[in-house]
């Protein structure tokens, strides 16, 4: 899915032609020795207009709310309350199988709804708030806008001792080691993101992207990002309604069906 979300912005910017192939029939074009069984995953809706390419999981959200009996629930304005922290002793005994299935379905939804990523790592009552948030925002998705310049930006942040259980930084993905300071935690997160950036570079070179190749010799620029413009807060903590609305516009989270 990461490759798809790299190809789609390029397609929108450079007006490439898109063709869709039915994956259900892909095995009909080759000789198979052994039997193959595949589960067809829930589809991601794609809309193409003069604004760009919009991907969403609107039907998936509707089915999720129906299956969890949350179709008539009261909408929430954020997926998680600001500065909300949980301890290992907080919560109650639950049906583990039900909880794991619900988390799995929400994780699949994060392909187009990045703002719920951090909330899916919490206790059941927090996960239920995510469902209430989805009730009020079922049609949001990612809009890859047409035109503009191709710029690759990587946001890095690390919050030392933000986890009440240990000193591992939840910088998008919790680090595997215990950092001894905020600086060490930040540099470990930085190293991980640079590796991902180099992977994107190799991918673009393989795609023979002339724009990127012409800037290949440029050094990496590391500007300071103020707290109010740190997009990774969406993935590492709860934010207020105002912060959420401001941050969602930058990564392209939008509702193209909204009258506004």
Is residue 8 one of the residues assigned to a domain? no
- Does the residue 189 lie in any domain? yes
Q: Is residue 41 part of a domain?
A: no
Residue 127 domain-assigned (yes or no): no
Residue at 50 is within a domain: no
**What residue numbers bound the domain in which 210 lies?**
151-250
Classify residue 130 as exposed, middle or buried by CB count within 10 Å of its CB (0-12, 13-18, 19+).
buried
Would you write out the chain's pLDDT as a tens digit for each of its 260 residues? Answer: 778 888 888 888 888 887 766 656 655 666 767 776 666 667 789 888 888 899 999 999 999 999 999 999 999 999 988 877 655 555 566 788 888 999 999 999 999 998 898 888 777 888 999 999 999 999 999 998 887 677 777 777 655 444 544 444 444 455 455 556 666 767 777 777 788 888 888 888 777 654 444 444 455 677 777 777 777 777 777 888 888 887 887 767 888 666 55
Nearest to 75 by CA among 127, 125, 137: 137
Alpha helices in 86-123 (DSSP H): 96-109
- For the chain, helix (H) and strand (E) counts, in that order, are 8, 4
Question: The whole model's pTM is what?
Answer: 0.76
176, part of any domain: yes
Domain count, the chain: 1
In a domain, 146, yes or no: no
Instruction: Please report whether residue 195 resides in a domain.
Output: yes
Residues 6+ apart with CB under 8 A from 88: 164, 165
Per-residue pLDDT tens for 218-230? 556 777 777 777 7
């Amino acid at each position: 899915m990461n490759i798809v979300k790299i190809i789609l912005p390029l397609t929108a910017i450079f007006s490439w032609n898109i063709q869709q192939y039915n994956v259900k029939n892909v095995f009909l074009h080759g000789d198979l020795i052994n039997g193959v069984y595949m589960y067809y995953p829930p589809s991601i809706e794609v809309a193409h207009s003069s604004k760009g390419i919009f991907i969403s999981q609107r039907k998936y959200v509707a089915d999720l709310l129906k299956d969890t009996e949350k179709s008539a629930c009261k909408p929430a304005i954020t997926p998680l309350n600001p500065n909300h922290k949980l301890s290992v002793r907080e919560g109650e005994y639950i049906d583990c199988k039900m909880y794991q299935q619900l988390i799995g379905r929400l994780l699949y939804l994060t392909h187009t709804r990045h703002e719920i990523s951090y909330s899916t790592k919490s206790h059941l009552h927090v996960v239920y708030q995510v469902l209430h948030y989805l009730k009020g925002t079922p049609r949001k998705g990612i809009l890859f806008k047409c035109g503009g310049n191709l710029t690759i930006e990587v946001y890095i942040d690390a919050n030392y001792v933000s986890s009440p259980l240990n000193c591992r930084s939840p910088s998008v993905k919790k680090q595997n080691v215990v950092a001894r300071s905020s600086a060490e935690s930040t540099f470990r997160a930085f190293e991980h993101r640079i590796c991902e950036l180099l992977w994107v570079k190799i991918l673009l070179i393989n795609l023979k992207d002339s724009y990127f190749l012409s800037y290949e010799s440029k050094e990496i620029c590391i500007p300071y990002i103020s707290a109010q413009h740190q997009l990774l807060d969406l993935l590492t903590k709860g934010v207020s309604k105002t912060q959420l609305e401001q941050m969602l516009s930058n990564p392209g989270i939008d509702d193209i069906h909204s009258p506004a």
